[in-house]
Structure 1
């Protein structure tokens, strides 16, 4: 059921009248719902507009002049709630853990949106400033600035957001599960002489690691692996910050 009131003629209003009866939040929520149901590759602006009872121009009126603006707004909706996940009084390393754990949980609620967040430039832009600010604030409190700040930021976003994007990568949608069956069958036929280590580890690895799987992280989550990467990155940045602070501290004068 849509929230756009009908005119006296019984038809849904168009143009500015429809835009006034529809909120930006409703547009974004409906777009996310369509992606949840059909996947990002099947997203249709015309279908979104039809579902809301408006023209595509009304969608643009709310979110900007292009589909890319809508995608940026969707990304900002997913990441814009992350500030609330952190304790502002916690150490900077704990805040980063809180934020990136919340990021993964948020994307897992909408796994079909994950390629938009990590693998497409369409979601970039100033709509993500809240997300950028909280990560930069934590890193700045850790002593990072200049080139070191930029590199630390890219390591976190590339590593952790990239992990989630790969974890939730969609399987082929055109074969009705046949692709998954083929991959599973081929996994059972791995030659132990040609690949002895892989064959021996298959009970632990099959369908549970990247590149040797037929289901994505929405069906088989990679919780422990994500935690390992999170710890490695944050502990590594903390060690780097301590090392930098030690180098910058002048030695006491003796005499």
Structure 2
């Protein structure tokens, strides 16, 4: 007895081509696109979906090259900081100052990356062993013993990252104009009787000092404070060595 199949027969689905074959998609292209998004968009809205849209591919295509969002962020940080280690500088004090300046200059070019490094441990995935070894070599040549290397290294990293993270802290995205106006009103109405030193120097502090500003370092850099800061760090290390 024969049976007639009524209606459309179900076709065996064709296997999709691997997303790794997406023409032109490379790890380098993904990192470049991710950095572009972080530079131009709200950092909190950065996602693999938005990155895929920027690249014109499905999100799964990215995972063939970089396994996760955290891994993408680590690659972005690696790219931003790839050239900060000083070369051909025998004086350890000048070497450290160059390191701090190079780091700040790299972040100044990509200020939205600052909070990724300063406040998220995911940045640890972007381990630059060359930078770590170079810092340790410099500190060792300065006279830091192996026993003191970990603590001194931590102090150097905190100094390198800390000021710059604060300087390039993200400004509010929502109601930004109202917030800026509010800050200017607060700064402009300091009571000279209650706060005489601040009132006398308010023009020098207005939008040029931590807490008393409404723009970050991308718009209003804090150069004098930075130089004072790195001088203090290096002099502090030198004083500890003298003891």
**TM norm structure 1:** 0.82
Aligned to 2:124: 124
Aligned to 2:39: 36
After TM superposition, give the deviation of residue 149 of structure 1 in Å. 1.1
More moved, 138-147 vs 113-122: 138-147
After TM superposition, give the deviation of residue 60 of structure 1 in Å. 2.7
After TM superposition, give the deviation of residue 58 of structure 1 in Å. 2.6
After TM superposition, give the deviation of residue 109 of structure 1 in Å. 0.3
Aligned to 1:79: 81
The C-alpha deviation readout for 1:203-235, integer Å capped at 9, x for no partner, is: 111111111111111111011111111111112
| Shift in CA distance, 221/89, structure 1 to aligned 2, threshold 3 Å | closer
Following the alignment from structure 1 to structure 2, what is the Cα–Cα distance between the partners of residues 124 and 117? 8
Is residue 45 from structure 1 mapped to residue 48 from structure 2 by the alignment? yes
Runs of 4+ in 1 over 6 A off after TM superposition: none
Aligned CA-pair RMSD: 1.8
Contact (CA 8 Å) 1:79, 1:131: kept in 2 or not? no
Q: Which runs of 5 or more structure 2 residues have no equivalent in the other structure? A: 1-16
After TM superposition, give the deviation of residue 136 of structure 1 in Å. 1.7
**Match of 2:157, SS?**
helix
After TM superposition, give the deviation of residue 196 of structure 1 in Å. 2.0
After TM superposition, give the deviation of residue 152 of structure 1 in Å. 1.3
Q: What number of residue pairs does the alignment pair up? A: 227
Aligned to 2:21: 17
Contact (CA 8 Å) 2:140, 2:146: kept in 1 or not? no
The C-alpha deviation readout for 1:163-191, integer Å capped at 9, x for no partner, is: 00000011111114221011101221222
More moved, 189-198 vs 216-225: 189-198
Aligned to 1:250: none
The structure with more helix, counted as a fraction of residues: 1
After TM superposition, give the deviation of residue 117 of structure 1 in Å. 1.4
Following the alignment from structure 1 to structure 2, what is the Cα–Cα distance between the partners of residues 28 and 134? 25
Following the alignment from structure 1 to structure 2, what is the Cα–Cα distance between the partners of residues 130 and 55? 35
Contact (CA 8 Å) 2:37, 2:46: kept in 1 or not? yes
Contact (CA 8 Å) 1:92, 1:139: kept in 2 or not? yes
| Shift in CA distance, 126/207, structure 1 to aligned 2, threshold 3 Å | closer
